[in-house]
Structure 1
């Protein structure tokens, strides 16, 4: 991958240019559902001027405010660019800006012709050096489509513990059939959040 320039003034100007563009298009972005494809294409283009790996998420409108998430798409190499763009965000009355995909209530994942519900998943935690190794037990795991199930496991874990912790605090991730026994405590995805935080604070 081509390295980004390290000149701070150059990088700051690109970040400031993005937020100037954002404010100039604030109404359109806030109501993106009216022309979603066009708005998203323009937003992607603007974010890629800051860094090609940056992506975004919008939250629903709540109390006349909308969340805008700046994400690295799970790529640790792009984390510094998320931090820099977030640090330059303006204070806008109608927006809450968030760096990295936050923890969400896990929801069903569909990849190709497979569906994985949070109810079909349990997770164990064990030490992997200074990180947490996660084994994901999946109901209905088909070894012929293991790559798809592994991708679904990653996405469900990302929802449960958030993008930052997934990349910084998690070591190995492996998947096993739901029926397989283990000596470690098995957790559902909602319980995982609290136990993960306790485990990492040990």
Structure 2
């Protein structure tokens, strides 16, 4: 089984070699053949194209159909693309420029203006309540719900729908009598305003002294069989000032620096190391320190970064120091900042 890097290289080599032949095909056939090439090397992704059959250059989108687990691969594919003669390339299905549209399924038609949305908070994400502004025949209830999901994906865009939206519930009436209902066709500016003004996600990198909150968590000792065992406690410090940049698309990776701390002196060394790493990343806005946890003789700091390799290059002088010899470094893809909001909402 070839690695993802090798598979990506092989796909683009084959696509570039056949691009002229693809360009000679009608657009529909070109999309089909392009996806045959893609599926030969990579799973979970698809190509979409927009334009006319005679266009010298058409717009090509790489999509994962909202599957977050495939997003890292998708971004690697786009980043590795060669210069193409007949195709411009974008990652993710973007928001439609015409959000007022109908779609049909098995003889049933529904318009975005007939789908009503109310926004609320779901931990760090936005929750959506959905109801329909018209009577939906019983036989088409499932169709209508499936169509609403497809519409939201097109109206909000693939990345925002997958990452920024949490719970999605279909309701007859909202549990909140003050809920503001917006037709899906008018949702983008309302959603963006809710994201920035209500949730505070302005996207602006914080400046000055950051505001931190702390909490102590207890693990174990609650069950009868553990009654005689001491509780395992953790001290968590959360950077409240990181909230404005939470879930920014260029800060999707959680970089963890984990170091053992056997006594107070080692704890101070670890804290200094973690703070210096934060300074190196935040000065160049490569990342931000989101939270720290001290538990079971270890202190870990979690930073959200956009490019793992660039972040590690920025931290290289620090990681080569003697006090970093026992440091463990891990990276995970967490575009919804689930690790951060596990603690930030408290």
In the alignment, which residue of structure 1 is the partner of 2:19?
Answer: 26
In the alignment, which residue of structure 2 is the partner of 1:59?
Answer: 50
Q: Distance in 1 between matches of 2:57 and 2:77?
A: 20
1:64-101 Cα deviation digits (max 9, x unpaired): 42110000022122111111111111222432211111
How far has the Cα of 1:133 moved from its partner?
Answer: 0.8
Q: Distance in 1 between matches of 2:157 and 2:32?
A: 25
In the alignment, which residue of structure 2 is the partner of 1:14?
Answer: 7
Matched, 1:129 2:120: no
Number of aligned residue pairs: give it.
191
Say if 2:58 and 2:88, in contact at 8 Å, map to a contact too. Answer: yes
Counterpart secondary structure, 1:146: helix
Counterpart secondary structure, 2:48: strand
In the alignment, which residue of structure 2 is the partner of 1:193?
Answer: 188
Say if 1:58 and 1:68, in contact at 8 Å, map to a contact too. Answer: yes
More off after superposition, 39-48 vs 18-27:
39-48
**Cα RMSD for the two superposed structures:** 2.4
Q: 1:175 aligns with which of 143, 155, 170?
A: 170
Q: Distance in 2 between matches of 1:190 and 1:119?
A: 5
**What residue ranges of structure 2 are gaps of 5+ in the alignment?**
201-346
Matched, 1:83 2:75: yes
In the alignment, which residue of structure 2 is the partner of 1:68?
Answer: 60
In the alignment, which residue of structure 1 is the partner of 2:331?
Answer: none
- For residues 108-119 of structure 1, the aligned pairs below 5 Å read 108-119=102-113
How far has the Cα of 1:40 moved from its partner?
Answer: 4.0
In the alignment, which residue of structure 2 is the partner of 1:103?
Answer: 95
1:16-36 Cα deviation digits (max 9, x unpaired): 2111222122233334327x4
Matched, 1:42 2:33: yes
Higher Cα Rg: structure 1 or 2? Answer: 2
Counterpart secondary structure, 2:49: strand
Instruction: Give the 3 Å change call, closer, same or farther, for CA 26–186 of structure 1 in structure 2.
Output: same
Q: Distance in 1 between matches of 2:10 and 2:163?
A: 29
In the alignment, which residue of structure 1 is the partner of 2:148?
Answer: 153
1:43-77 Cα deviation digits (max 9, x unpaired): 22221233221112101149742110000022122
Q: Please give the TM-score of this superposition, normalised by the length of structure 2.
A: 0.50
1:155-178 Cα deviation digits (max 9, x unpaired): 11011101111111111112245x
Instruction: Give the 3 Å change call, closer, same or farther, for CA 93–27 of structure 1 in structure 2.
Output: closer
Structure with the greater relative contact order (CA < 8 A, sep ≥ 6): 1 or 2?
A: 1
Q: Distance in 2 between matches of 1:80 and 1:112?
A: 35
How far has the Cα of 1:135 moved from its partner?
Answer: 1.5
Matched, 1:165 2:156: no
